[in-house]
Structure 1
Amino acid sequence: MNRLRALWQNVNASLWFVPTLMVAAAIGLAFALVFLDAGMSHDWVPDYPLLFGAGSDGARGMLTAIAGSMVTVAALIFSLTLSTLAQVSSQYTSRVLRNFMADRANQLVLGFFVSIFVYCLIVLRTIRGGDEGGFIPSLAVFMGLVLALVSIGVLLFFIHHMATAIQASTIIRHATEETHKAIGRLFPEELGEEAGPQQAQDLLRQAGELRWQPVPARATGYVQSLDEKALLVLARQLAGVVRLEHGIGGFVARGAALVSVARYEQATVTLTEELTKQLTDCFSLGSQRTIEQDAGFGLRQIVDIALKALSPGINDTTTAIIGIDHLGALLAQLADRRFEQQLRADQARVRVIAVRPTFAGYVATAFDQIRGSADGNVAVYLRLLTALATIGQRTHAPERRRDLRQQADLIAEAARRTLATDYEREQVRERLEQVLPRLAD
């Protein structure tokens, strides 16, 4: 099931899946209208000459012209799409290309023009005139004309959509919305019984005395998703514990340990082919990270855009500030969420030792590299401190506020070290004095 879910996510985010469905629908529509015309045996031309006033030659000529123009426009759209993808990859980051490919509007527009081309071809082959017996599927021909007229509006929509989609603010907003949904799905999430702090330490100490047997990965790639419920069931069946060696978004090489297993009876686990397959099937590996179970990847996309904006070749502080604002909003959403513990217990014994993301890890992912790339940029330092204040308002957990204060101290240190004037340093100092009280325990 986990592999099927990952396969569906990859297919659904491809540029070919929706257009293929639309082509199939266009073929079905063409045959349906042709059979409807043949079954009705009604001559539409004399009754409605303005709508159906075309003989066999006229119908062929019109459909030929529509088909030729549609395939030309489809080629233009494919070229524009590829050009946009190349521009986005070079100017922002290649990690947002998946978002463009998964954009439903792009998929529908590509499918629409290709579908009209296929529709016209299907209808063209059914038109007969003169000695051929005389058959003109007037309804099908009229539908081809309607689709051609609608395509003008679709083309204008596509140009507007692409012009909007390549703007930095739009790219960051889409990444933020996707990450916001992922956070809502992933935090909190409960599996098995949660262990209390002291109980967790006891269980972890108990599990550390076991004889661990590593289970090698069968492929190379990033961990895109995993089925922890299935791992919990397998651990119960083994009367032991499963320890994850990589979390969501982690990279694993073929043959390296993906998980480790052990039994409580101190007996070494025999890794049969069936057991190895069951364990590895709980993981989905791919060539790139995805956001479905990896909220950190959404943060990573925005960070990469901000880093590219701060690079000497681009030097776009405004885009970096937009990214910081959205990162602050996402971390504020995470600030009051409960993060899952590392251990999953069952019957007073730990069953799964997971690799969990932490709030401190997310904060470091969001701000560390941006702070390091913002040497001498007072606007970025000020906005980072503002983002920390926004996040701090959403949590009263002492350890999380300490993480935020640590970031504030690092920003203040970087400002003292890299800012060139006393005026800029004073700005940072004043902002820091406003932020620190909001981060107090």
Structure 2
Amino acid sequence: MTRPPPAAQSPSPPSPDRTRLPHGNGRSQRARRARGNGIALLLVVAGALLGWALPAAERHLPAPALDFDAATAQATLAAIAGGMITLAGFVVTAITLVVQTVQTMSPRLVAALGHFSRHLVLFGLLIGTALYALVTLSQVRGEHVPRFTVTIAVGLVLVDAVTVLYLLASLRHAVTGGGLARAVGIRLRQVVDGTCPAEAEHPPAPGPAVRTGTSVPVVRRGPPAVVLAVDEPRLTKLAARHDLHVQLLYAVGEFTGDGAPVARVDVKGELDPRTVRQVAACVRYGPGRTMEQDSSYGLRLLADIAIRALSPAVNDPATAVQALDHVEEGLVQLAGRPLGPVRLLDDRGVPRVSCPAPEWADFVSLALDETLLYGSSNPQVVRRLRALLDRVAAAAPEHRRQPLTERRDALDRLSDGALPDPLLRRVAARPDPQGLGGRSPSPSPAADG
């Protein structure tokens, strides 16, 4: 097929640097993980302390309780402690099996979703209840039976049972491709709202900051790693306080090595080495990408789910269609928003930090190209892709439709080559939001543009 000459194409105009206020602090995922660990530890310690303190306080504060004698109380507390320890082991086994299942969809999903921090809290609750029962058991001596304390232990069993049932029920969604795609899609929408806000949500910039004088590189020292996040508020305030302009050279999600310059600081006079270290500390690194400030990584994970489902070993096009549902929502959300490099504004509206970021064509390629390649031989996936392209094209402005048109043309070529039977080609030519079995959407004038 002869390609049209460059003059016949209508490429998208280059996106000017967009501006917005700083978002987040670059530490929220680490804070959530630390909070989950802290709550689990607190529950364990609280169980031991309450088991020690309540029996002593009960002598002076009589309270209604179940009627236990010493032998019954000891048997009850021993059964509770043993049962909670056994149940904690069962929860660990269940989580391990779920992690192994999730990794078959994509090894990146477990770390990206942070799905299992709340199950650590459940583990702390179970072990805390076991410690509470064991410490209380040591307080049952002779005729002294802390009946109220034993009654609390029975109540904790009910709380633990309800919590275990609730969280185990939620795990069934984590072991399906559709459930994982839904979790990624929900998180993706939140990240897009923070990193790519609508144009009306940020003030206009008064113009580029003056960048005359010295340009100082910020060199990273440490093992090779991925840029996880940037503490945007801290970096912007630091640049405003010292009258700097910081240009980050790596986008969130990119890999960098030891000795690589990760930023450039423009300053009118001399720059204190301490300030350079503070700028470097605003960029966080880790062994793998996360979705904290990386909206393109959400599309990467959805594409992973789709292409794994389309592999010959799995052969599950219905799961690929479920992943494409959330790919479509993500692209529709991005279609009308300013994308590309971004300048962060300080409190006075002066651009202080320049950050590289993907353009619209990059998002489209990441979300669709691999699924186009591996799904072109399946009528269900082809139909779902056609419906996706039509809807995204209807939501996208005119200058952003060319990448979608290119994918539609590629889909036609790939599906025609992979489906030699005329019936299957005719079936695959129909857009269908359900893949197979759904109604044909009404053609949109925008989709034909």
**TM-score if structure 1 supplies the norm length?**
0.82
Q: Which has the higher helix share?
A: 1
2:88 maps to 1:87: no
In the aligned structure 1, how far is the partner of 2:304 from the partner of 2:330?
A: 15
In structure 1, the gaps of 5 or more residues are none
1:145-191 CA-partner distances (Å, limit 9, x unpaired)? 22234444444444433234312221211111111222222231777
In the aligned structure 2, how far is the partner of 1:79 from the partner of 1:235?
A: 49
Query: For the structure 1 residues 352 and 320, does the alpha-carbon distance in structure 2 shift closer, same or farther, using more than 3 Å as the test?
Result: same
2:198 maps to 1:185: no
In the aligned structure 2, how far is the partner of 1:436 from the partner of 1:409?
A: 17
Report the counterpart of residue 115 of structure 1 in structure 2: 128
2:314 maps to 1:314: yes
**Percent identical residues:** 24
Report the counterpart of residue 369 of structure 1 in structure 2: 370
Query: For the structure 1 residues 407 and 153, does the alpha-carbon distance in structure 2 shift closer, same or farther, using more than 3 Å as the test?
Result: same
Report the counterpart of residue 34 of structure 1 in structure 2: 55
2:210 maps to 1:170: no
- Counterpart of 2:401 in 1: which secondary structure? helix
2:446 aligned to 432, 435, 438, which one?
Answer: 438
Query: Which range is displaced more, 321-330 or 165-174?
Result: 165-174
In the aligned structure 2, how far is the partner of 1:98 from the partner of 1:341?
A: 27
Displacement of 1:119 after TM fit? 0.9
Query: Which range is displaced more, 109-118 or 234-243?
Result: 234-243
Query: For the structure 1 residues 333 and 149, does the alpha-carbon distance in structure 2 shift closer, same or farther, using more than 3 Å as the test?
Result: same
Report the counterpart of residue 297 of structure 1 in structure 2: 297
Displacement of 1:420 after TM fit? 2.4
In the aligned structure 1, how far is the partner of 2:427 from the partner of 2:445?
A: 17
Query: Hey, which bits of structure 1, 4+ residues long, moved more than 6 A?
Result: 189-192, 345-350, 432-436
Displacement of 1:245 after TM fit? 1.0
2:54 maps to 1:10: no
Report the counterpart of residue 14 of structure 2 in structure 1: none
Displacement of 1:31 after TM fit? 4.2
CA contact (8 A) 2:340 2:357 kept: yes
Query: For the structure 1 residues 210 and 413, does the alpha-carbon distance in structure 2 shift closer, same or farther, using more than 3 Å as the test?
Result: farther
Pairs aligned (count)? 414
CA contact (8 A) 2:236 2:345 kept: no
2:205 aligned to 174, 194, 205, which one?
Answer: 194
Structure 1 counterpart of 2:154, one-letter code: L
Report the counterpart of residue 126 of structure 1 in structure 2: 139
Query: For the structure 1 residues 411 and 216, does the alpha-carbon distance in structure 2 shift closer, same or farther, using more than 3 Å as the test?
Result: same
Structure 2 counterpart of 1:439, one-letter code: A
2:214 maps to 1:215: no
Query: For the structure 1 residues 109 and 408, does the alpha-carbon distance in structure 2 shift closer, same or farther, using more than 3 Å as the test?
Result: same
In structure 2, the gaps of 5 or more residues are 1-23, 433-440
Query: For the structure 1 residues 184 and 348, does the alpha-carbon distance in structure 2 shift closer, same or farther, using more than 3 Å as the test?
Result: closer
Displacement of 1:17 after TM fit? 3.8
**TM-score if structure 2 supplies the norm length?**
0.81
Query: For the structure 1 residues 163 and 235, does the alpha-carbon distance in structure 2 shift closer, same or farther, using more than 3 Å as the test?
Result: closer
CA contact (8 A) 2:26 2:231 kept: no
In the aligned structure 2, how far is the partner of 1:53 from the partner of 1:300?
A: 59
In the aligned structure 1, how far is the partner of 2:350 from the partner of 2:130?
A: 63
1:251 aligned to 246, 250, 255, which one?
Answer: 255
List aligned pairs for 1:26-425, cutoff 5 A: 26-40=47-61, 51-55=66-70, 57-90=71-104, 92-98=105-111, 101-103=114-116, 106-129=119-142, 134-188=143-197, 193-194=204-205, 212-219=215-222, 220-236=224-240, 241-263=245-267, 273-339=273-339, 341-343=341-343, 351-395=352-396, 397-425=397-425
Q: Indicate the structure whose relative CO is greater, using CA pairs within 8 Å and at least 6 residues apart.
A: 2
In the aligned structure 2, how far is the partner of 1:352 from the partner of 1:147?
A: 51
